[in-house]
Amino acid sequence: MREPIRQYALELGFDVCRFTSAVPPESALRFQRWLADGKNGEMAYLQRNAEKRVDPQCVLPGAATIVTLAASYATARSCECMIPGRASAQLEGADSKLDSQRSQRNRPTGIVARYARFTDYHQVLEDRLKDLVKYIGRVGGVGARSLGYVDTGPFLERDIAQRAGLGFVGKHTNLINRRLGNWFFIAEVITTLQLQEDLPEKNRCGSCTRCITACPTAAITAPFQLDARRCISYLTIELKGSIPVELRAAIGNRIFGCDDCLVVCPWNRFARESNLMKQHARPELAEPDLIELLALDDEGFQRCFAGTPILRIRRRGLLRNVCVALGNTGAVAALPALQQAAKEPDTLIAEHARWATEQIEKRTEETSSAS
């Protein structure tokens, strides 16, 4: 039954399909220590469902197998830039060139993590995952039970995926696939159906430490160890309150997530574009105009980001991030928009707008003094 399931998953658009048992992952104890140290920050949901994450039987009693799936979100442009030894410079250089062109017109732009430059992947993958669950039910026969999750299940999914051979957990704590690099989504089907396991993947990072060096906020505290409280993805997405002042400068013009540790990984030279996500690309999200974003009201925010992952941080979260990005990269032309944002009833937006205004005024004064 395993190979027909794998083939059907590929026909649905997934790039890789692997199988492993539903026994608890070996990393369960490390995860519990990580939580005990508070490195999950405000992500309280990780603590609430910790019992399920360390034991798949708590998710689906009688579970025997976990089907792990990958769907690439690499784009043609990113794949073209993945030249050995030049991946980081080329890819980020291309982004910098675009930012420079917009800045010359006094229109600073922001950076959105690559995975969010599409229709929300939950929407794209969930229907296909439901089809796969139904198919597994048909081939499994009466009594077989299955549940599918797209980055929403209470699993230590990267460790389970490594055990299934889907990839290996890199020093940045993200999953790396030898054929897809870093650019892919993960999904799972947990089932009571007993299926033969695939061989696990071994770690292939070697002596490389590019991801650790690349992290702007030193969130990767040691190989395979992440303090989420310092991670820009956490700060711009998961954190609901004020971004710590001491970390704001390191955020640069990133307004939703961060790819720096992923971009520099040399395994990206094997990345390839997926037909599945390609048709759901939202190219207008690649370099959004920061001043235009700052002018969005609630209705405009909903209209602009409907159906994208950005919707989850709401207007107040996005405008908070936009203010930080303008504080780091904006010029005098951004001051009127920031001064207006400083009058916002939402104190979170107003405080970050005042901070950004101070940063721009300080840079302007320093430039005037130097000249």
Determine the Cα–Cα distance for residues 53 and 272; give it in Å rounded to an integer: 31
**DSSP H helices in the chain:** 2-12, 28-36, 44-48, 50-54, 76-81, 87-104, 121-140, 157-164, 210-214, 232-233, 245-251, 260-263, 275-278, 290-294, 298-305, 314-329, 335-341, 347-370
Q: Sort 118 into a burial class: Cβ within 10 Å, 0-12 / 13-18 / 19+.
A: buried
Look-up of token digits 């941080």:
313
Task: Evaluate whether 66 touches 164 at the Cβ level (below 8 Å).
Answer: yes
Q: In sequence order, what are the beta bridge partners of 68?
A: 18, 188
Rounded to 10 deg, the angle between the 2-12 and 121-140 helix axes is 150
Annotated catalytic residue, options 151, 198, 289, 346: 151
User: Would the CA dihedral through 150, 155, 159, 160 be positive or negative?
Assistant: negative
| Cα dihedral 259→260→263→267 (10° resolution) | -100
CA atoms within 13 A on the CB side of 282: 20
Q: Give the gyration radius of the chain's Cα atoms.
A: 22
Q: What is the DSSP string of 146-215?
A: EEEESS-SSS-HHHHHHHHTS-EE-TTSSEEBTTTBT-EEEEEEEESS--PPPPPPPP--TT--HHHHH-
120 annotated active-site: no
Determine the Cα–Cα distance for residues 309 and 332; give it in Å rounded to an integer: 31
Q: In sequence order, what are the beta bridge partners of 18?
A: 68
Task: Evaluate whether 190 touches 22 at the Cβ level (below 8 Å).
Answer: yes
Taking CA atoms, 278 is separated from 110, 146, 178, 196, 286, in Å, by 22, 29, 20, 32, 14
Q: What is the DSSP string of 111-123?
A: EE-GGGSBS-HHH
Give the active site residues.
151
